[in-house]
Amino acid sequence: MGVFFGYVFLGLSLAAPIGPVNAAQLDKGIKSGFFHAWLVGLGAMTADLIYMLAVYLGVVHFLEIPFMQTFLWSFGFFVLVYTGVESLVSARKMTFSSRQRDESRSKSFFSGFFMSISNPLTILFWLGIYGSVLAKTASEYDTASVMVYSLAIFIGLMVWDVTMAGVASSFRRLLTDKILAFISILSGLSLIGFGIYFGIQAIKLLFFK
């Protein structure tokens, strides 16, 4: 049981570093509440699950092809910059009533999904971390145990998703409109910053490799 919770903690550790998904969850929770922030994280977890399966099935090597990497960096640039600009524009209109609006649930889900699925760092993360964990676990345990411990990692991701959604929606209730707008601006700038980094990586692959 201790090993199981160790893998749950690993899942938490994988999700915790501040990145575009956490920034988007914070922004969405402030504007639309817990459920929408949770959906952003759920979309990202769906992408994580796809990459976990890719590593498990060994097809992740297809994603190491330079063309695919360039495409993912470029697509990630578009998704992050678009979401960041949208956050900046909406921050200017932030009022208490605007926080109550019922945005599309599917939009929240797919924004998290596309942010994660188009992030080559996610691929490298899962290939390096989960790949090594998978190799170690498979050498010591049977297939059923590998599946159980993989589930434990995913449980850790889910716990972090709920935690982030709760924190974001709490900010929404406690802070004033001006502070919420400021946080939304910071979140938007953060997303654009990540997007620019993705764009630079795409240009390097296209022209300098």
Give CA–CA dist 7/40, Å, rounded: 23
Give CA–CA dist 123/40, Å, rounded: 19
| 55-82 mean pLDDT | 75
> CB-side exposure of 74: number of CA atoms within 13 Å?
11
| 186-209 mean pLDDT | 82
Q: What is the pTM of this model?
A: 0.69
SS3 state at 77: helix
| 137-145 mean pLDDT | 71
- Give percent above pLDDT 70 in the chain: 74
Residue type, 19: G
Question: Is the pLDDT confidence value at 21 over 70?
Answer: yes
What is each CA distance from 11 to 21, 40, 62, 152, 163, in whole angstroms?
15, 17, 25, 7, 13
Among 115, 106, 93, which Cα is nearest to 31's?
Answer: 93
| Confidence band, pLDDT 50/70/90 cuts, at residue 98 | very low
Residue 80 has which token pair?
């992050």
